[in-house]
Chains A and B, each alone.
Chain A
Amino acid sequence: MSSTVKDLLGDVKRKFNAKELSALAAYFRTVMFETLYKSQTGHWGGAASSAELTTALYFNRLKIDPKNPQWEERDRLILSKGHASVNLYTVLAHRGFFPTEELETFRRLDSRLQGHPSMNSTSGVDMSTGALGHGLSIGVGMALAARLKGQKFWTYVISGEGCLNEGQSWEAMMSAAKYKPEGLVLMVDYNKVQLDGTEDEIMPMGCLASKLTSFGWHVAPTAYNGHDTASILDSFAWMDSDDVWPKAVIYDTVKGKGISFTENKSAWHGAVIDDDSYAKGIVELNADLAKKEAVL
């Protein structure tokens, strides 16, 4: 671990700035890649895609307490694209929800770190996901519960286009538009690559922002860069800029981000990381980390 990132991780309670978040995300990518390589199972492509989004949420935005993971007033995060579990686990461990050493048990027998997130197994996981398309409906329920109970927590749902392929997501869109629950935010990790091929080949989304708007959502006027932490912080500022609900933000992202030969490749959705790919990939990830630490 670089001493700089190590310093940051020694003080995880504070809000990190864009450069710090960028360095943290770069470091988390190295941990994720190594975890997947050691496990010889799991999903690199989608985890690399959401690395900055989850880092920015957990290290700048979410109202949470790792010492009290069931705190009733905490903000909720639903990773509807549950196959990116290694991303969520890596961020949760470094945020203090469980020991980072436990990441080595990912997907092993008797581990708390199930293949896809499991809320009753892992501290900090607010909802089990894996079967795609559930997250937004569940988020609507959580946000409505906050309203009924007079609580102020926010509910963030991270979906990929795989989730949006599922019809249930659009049922959820309609119901959210009907009830307009305060604090509900859909964050689309829009990397445009699915398991079997590109979005255009598998299921074209058309103009996603227009679709969300026509379904009655308050959609951010611009797509943000989901790998540029400054851009992500701008999107947070937009979320805070008015009281219109439900809100949706589209983030342009890259599947397999961070390694030249995995970027935008559907084969890297869930490919096992072989020795050669690990050796080459980790060099690229470490170089990126060094570059981002250098500008801190």
Chain B
Amino acid sequence: MSIAMRDAFGKKLVELGVTHPNLVVLDADVSSSTKSALFGKAYPERFFNVGVAEANMVDIAAGMATAGLRPVVNAFAIFLALKATDQIRNTICYNNLPVIIAGAYGGLSDSFDGASHQAITDIAIMRALPNMQVIVPSDSFQAEQALEYALTQQGPVYIRLNRNAMPDLPRAAAISTVKVTEGSDVTIAANGITASFAAEAAELLKKEGIKAEVFSVPMVKPFGIEAIVESVAKTGRLLTVEEHVLAGGFASAVSEVFMKRGISCRFDAIGIEDTFTESGPYIPLLAKYGISAENIAARAMALSK
């Protein structure tokens, strides 16, 4: 089990603060949750807790970016994506400013707080914005890679982070699509932390004689789709998995590419249906809304028939 992404991200901010003197970090009164407080402790003069005011925070960061600073804004993913959409669109993205938007407690990971705090539409919103790059790390190592990558970019990057300690996955040298298991019967493309459930599903499928090729796909925009296209050419079957509503998210992004290129295959998508979620312990909550090794294996098996 890895450390939680938020802990890894917070520590990485502190580490990068040494090498990046222009790195500044902003938070909206949730720094002890997002772990941006670690940076605040290390570099108080470069840390700005602006109170519960996400929209204001994003525009302050934009102003800082125009003057050569490299801001990272931190708040819960749902509130960044919804309360600060105007600021992210009209100031950050329209002007292509290099601001990193770190959406904490992504997906259902703020599980006990319930639907009001669970980000299930952030990926759809962020990937629709011109100039925005969208990264959904699958584990804490990828979260660190995402931050390092974002700091090399000249425009905005959204990084969706998870609250809880989740399993580690195989690593690649840079943030990109990672093949987690090799297989020839069905391709499973998993976004974010769902990749660890997909990896577990591959084990279950193996017992049934089905060889699943599982990918962790953190880069939603630009899209790390080529490995998936290659795999589907071999398997003819694709199951996508995401911790997000199906409308406009990862499955939508995959479908757009496949339809445009005329790639046909047997296809299914696991994600949150057109519904609000609820409070509960994280893993059972995910399972209730379809994200579990068992459900992924069952749906992959149905595709493979």
Contacts and interface: CB of A to CB of B under 8 A. Distances in A.
B67 A131 contact: no
Contact of A140 (B51, B55, B60, B95): B60
Contacts of A168: 53, 55-56, 59, 87
Nearest to A131: B90
Contact of A118 (B56, B71, B94): B94
Interface of A: 72, 76, 118-120, 126-128, 130-131, 134, 137-146, 148-149, 151, 155, 168, 171-172, 174-175, 178-179
Size range of the interface on B? Answer: 20 to 34
A16 B87 CA distance: 37
A18 to B, nearest CB: 31
Contact of A145 (B67, B91, B94): B67
B66 A174 contact: no
Nearest to B59: A137
Contact of B59 (A126, A141, A149, A151): A141
Contact of A141 (B45, B46, B63, B86): B63
Contacts of A148: 24, 45-46, 64, 69
A92 to B, nearest CB: 17
**Interface majority SS (helix, strand, loop, mixed), chain B:** helix
B90 A126 contact: no
A134 B90 contact: yes
Contacts of A179: 48
24 contacts: A72-B68, A120-B95, A127-B95, A128-B90, A128-B94, A134-B87, A134-B91, A137-B60, A138-B91, A139-B63, A140-B56, A141-B61, A141-B62, A142-B64, A144-B63, A145-B66, A148-B46, A149-B67, A149-B68, A151-B67, A168-B53, A168-B87, A171-B55, A179-B48
A10 B152 CA distance: 44
B50 interface: yes
B164 interface: no
Nearest to A143: B63
Contact of B53 (A138, A143, A149, A171): A171
A127 B67 contact: no
Contacts of A172: 56, 59-60
Contacts of B62: 137-138, 141
A76 B87 CA distance: 19
B74 interface: no
Contacts of A140: 56, 60, 63
Contacts of A139: 63
A109 B60 CA distance: 31
A72 B66 CA distance: 10
B180 to A, nearest CB: 40
B162 interface: no
Kindly list the 9 A-B residue pairs having the minimum CB-CB distance in the complex, ordered from nearest.
A141-B63, A137-B59, A145-B67, A171-B56, A141-B60, A171-B53, A138-B63, A142-B63, A141-B64
Contact of B51 (A72, A128, A175): A175
Contact of A127 (B60, B64, B66): B66
A9 B58 CA distance: 39
Contact of B63 (A120, A127, A130, A171): A127
Given A120-B96, A130-B90, A142-B66, 12 more contacts: A128-B95, A134-B59, A137-B55, A138-B63, A140-B56, A141-B64, A168-B59, A168-B87, A171-B51, A171-B56, A174-B51, A179-B48
